Structure 1
Amino acid sequence: MLRLQEVHAHYGAIHALRGVSLEVEEGQIVTLIGANGAGKSSTLMAISGIIRPTAGRIIFEGEDLTHLPSHAIVRRGISQVPEGRRIFPKLTIMENLEMGAYTRADTAQIRQDLDRVFLLFPLLKDRQSQLSGTLSGGEQQMLAIGRALMARPRLLLLDEPSLGLAPKLVETIFEVIREINAQGTTIMLVEQNAHMALRVAARGYVMEVGLIVLTDEAENLMANEKVRSAYLGE
């Protein structure tokens, strides 16, 4: 479904991605793990068109997305839940969800997707008129995921969905990630909690200083001594 071929990206003089190549198969959860500053979020932002690759190609369902703007990439079927959630705090829950469907005009299907979000997150249904800035961190994460789903993505990019959440909420968020995938959405997951990420993923990539240094099936990465020592705290 998705292929990155030798992707490079820069922030000014900083060489953030140094030839990243990876693949995501349709229907999978694929995770990208690594230390802070390894380039994980930059990889997602390159896929989303938020930063422009300086070399390499990004292919999605056979189409080259490398030079497309972000809104065109959303229309092709890729949505991102950014690190830090970035909901619109002065808009209500419902208004945030409606913003997620801004590229769409299929009213009946938008209503169906809204019902889907409310089934995943009943709390959002009960508080539709509440200002989003008054939600807790976990509730804002639910809203950020719901907003991304309103674009009806075939590929969902999740950037640090458990960041700053209590352990019980982390379990809830990962249960929802499994459910979204079971409903047919392919997921690419960036996550500091490597143990949880590898538990839900089919395949994983390990990233260091802008490079992919290791890839394998998730269960094999969990058994890898280097991964266990560096990222699983063992």
Structure 2
Amino acid sequence: MKILIVHAHYEAKSFNSALKDLAVKTLTEAGHEVRVSDLYAMNWNPVASQADFAEPTNPDYCVYALEQRKGFESGSIAPDIQAEIAKVDWCDLLIFNFPIFWFSVPAILKGWIDRVFVSGHFYGGKRFYDQGGMRSKRAMLALSLGGQPHMFGPEAIHGEMDTLLRPIMRGALAYCGFTVLPPYVAYHVPYVSPEARQAMLDDYRERLLHLDDLTPVCFPRLDDFDDRLYPKNNERSSILEKT
């Protein structure tokens, strides 16, 4: 299997970097090919702008998604974006490795998604969810945060983890067609003992060795919706079909 790890942590000695290093070692020893995009080490530019297009179709007014589509088709999109798209095209499994910042991904990772998940290749028209451009690939999150497990859940103070991760798991990965595996979450990382951190690393290693045993997260399928994207079993959809 070909695996791309997109790593988003500024500190080489961080727990997230340890997760990344463990993944590279474990997966390589298991016979997989592994590549890493270390965004801070690469000094990745997270800012989407008209500068990403050498030959903009409209120099006076940038509609970014439309320029992405044209730039990708013509090969005139920025070289750093082209290089990352090629890595995603190469891989069978994409792993995002990051800490939670303010209930979200770090800005540098969000900027990678903004610039790399280009319209016309990753998605476009009705090419999303199970019909998205990346539908032959899998994806997984490996993340750390400061909160404790009891702080996340239906009645918990921070709400459900699925809700926190919805923008990245559904809004980016599933939307572009990836089959999304359950996330690996390391809780309370800044405050636990070295022994507890090692236990989390051991758990992650076991996860990586049994990826094929994981049940993917369920997301919408276009077959469950009509041509106007109303649910087929929805009463409103049935009424509209009769009008």
Greater length-normalized contact order (CA 8 Å, ≥ 6 residues apart): 1
Please give the TM-score of this superposition, normalised by the length of structure 2. 0.30
Please give the TM-score of this superposition, normalised by the length of structure 1. 0.31
More strand, by proportion: 1
